[in-house]
Amino acid sequence: MDLNHVAVFARVVELESFTAAAKQLGLPKSSVSRTVTRLEDELGVRLLQRTTRKLHLTEAGQAFYERTSVALAGLAEAASAATNLSLEPRGTVRLSAPADIGVMNLGELVARFLRKYPLVQIEISISSRYVDLVAEGFDLALRAGKLADSSLVARKIGSDQLGLFASPAYLRRRGRPKTVAELANHDCVLFRGTNGKSEWRLTGPRGEERVTVRGPLNVDEISFVSQAVTAGVGIALLPMIAVRLAAARGPLPMPVRVLPEYSVGGSGLNVVSPSARFQSASVAAFRDFLVAELTAFWNSA
């Protein structure tokens, strides 16, 4: 079996397109299609169902891809390790990061990395949308929350809890809630709420308690929620680490913890990369640097 044929098939599957695979491999689309057909003939099974709009893996194709992609990744990693022993990290590394990552001092970390590796260039895309690493050509990503894509290799940085916070000015104006149920009568800053309301599931002394809250402001970035709370808009759930870091920076008035015995299990932060992609010395160096520095930063916050 020709491993080049297997590698072409794997790239078609990962990009879900003969055209995209051909472009990335620098081959004519017809050559890519013939390669996959020859592989199917050699195996005696249909691997892909071709339609005018989309490719679909057959059951046999899915099983073949799952096993061969692991083998291809292992070969690429072995080749990379052997080659990189004598190479200094150089070239471009593309990183996708969420808009709220600014709280982690990412700019300062990148500056330190570039001083250590002057032959490396870093391209960072800051966006709240979900980025397809393989299709969009990213080497690494910082991801918060549950990882839906099981094909990604993840290195965990840490996890956090969410607490209830409000500004001193808001609490003087509206009073401090004494129970979870009283939150329903307060102005709340909603994070990705629906129709001006959201259900909060808080864990406290009596287990989980639920309350439907409403508020005049609904946003999709935690950093903006934090700013709104500080400005006195209302009560909100905020990551504990974000509040601790903001307090350390000073000198702005800081939000006050409300119902401190209640919290919400927060999401984790991970550095992720495509599982079957060749990783250069520069990508591996930047990945390891981010994991080490962000882990230390998280634990010291």
Q: Of residues 286 and 105, which shows the higher confidence score?
A: 286
Chain CA centroid to CA 66, Å: 23
Q: Of residues 268 and 10, which shows the higher confidence score?
A: 10
For residue 187, what pLDDT is reported? 97
Within 13 Å of residue 178, how many CA atoms lie on the same side as its CB? 0
Q: Report strand pairing: 91-97 vs 236-239.
A: unpaired
Distance CA 13, CA 6 (A): 11
Phi, psi at residue 259, to the nearest 5°?
A: 45, 60
Closest by Cα among 153, 140, 136, 132 to 93: 140
Domain 91-156+267-300 falls in which CATH fold? D-Maltodextrin-Binding Protein; domain 2 (3.40.190)
What's the pLDDT tens digit per position in 42-51? 888 888 887 7
Closest by Cα among 158, 213, 152, 155 to 182: 213
Distance CA 285, CA 287 (A): 5
Q: Give the residue-averaged pLDDT of 87-95.
A: 87
Phi, psi at residue 61, to the nearest 5°?
A: -65, -40
Which amino acid does the sequence have at 91? G
For residue 114, what pLDDT is reported? 96
What's the pLDDT tens digit per position in 175-227? 999 999 999 999 999 998 999 999 999 999 999 999 999 999 999 888 788 88
Average pLDDT of the residues of the chain:
84
Show the tokens assigned to 231: 């400005």
Give me the percent of the chain exceeding a pLDDT of 90.
35
Same fold, 3-84 and 160-266: no
Confidence bin at 297 (pLDDT 50/70/90): confident
Q: Give the residue-averaged pLDDT of 32-57.
A: 82
What's the pLDDT tens digit per position in 220-260? 888 788 889 999 999 999 988 777 666 655 555 678 999 99
Out of 3.90.1300.10, 3.30.70.330, 1.20.1530.20, 3.40.190.290, select the CATH number for domain 160-266.
Answer: 3.40.190.290
**The residue to which tokens 């590698």 are assigned:** 7
For residue 285, what pLDDT is reported? 93
**Model's pTM, two decimal places?**
0.58
Q: Give the residue-averaged pLDDT of 9-21.
A: 83
Confidence bin at 58 (pLDDT 50/70/90): confident
Show the tokens assigned to 226: 């934090």
For residue 93, is pLDDT > 90? yes
Q: Of residues 52 and 116, which shows the higher confidence score?
A: 116
For residue 267, is pLDDT > 90? no
Distance CA 168, CA 172 (A): 6
What's the pLDDT tens digit per position in 117-175? 999 999 999 887 778 888 888 999 988 766 665 667 888 887 778 999 999 999 999 99
Distance CA 18, CA 9 (A): 9
For residue 84, is pLDDT > 70? no
Show the tokens assigned to 225: 């929620």
Q: Give the residue-averaged pLDDT of 9-37.
A: 85
For residue 102, is pLDDT > 60? no
Beta bridge partners of 238: 163
Inter-CA distances, 28 with 1, 25, 35, 255, Å: 22, 9, 11, 59
Domain 3-84 falls in which CATH fold? Arc Repressor Mutant, subunit A (1.10.10)
Distance CA 79, CA 279 (A): 10
**Where exactly are the structural domains of the chain?**
3-84, 91-156+267-300, 160-266
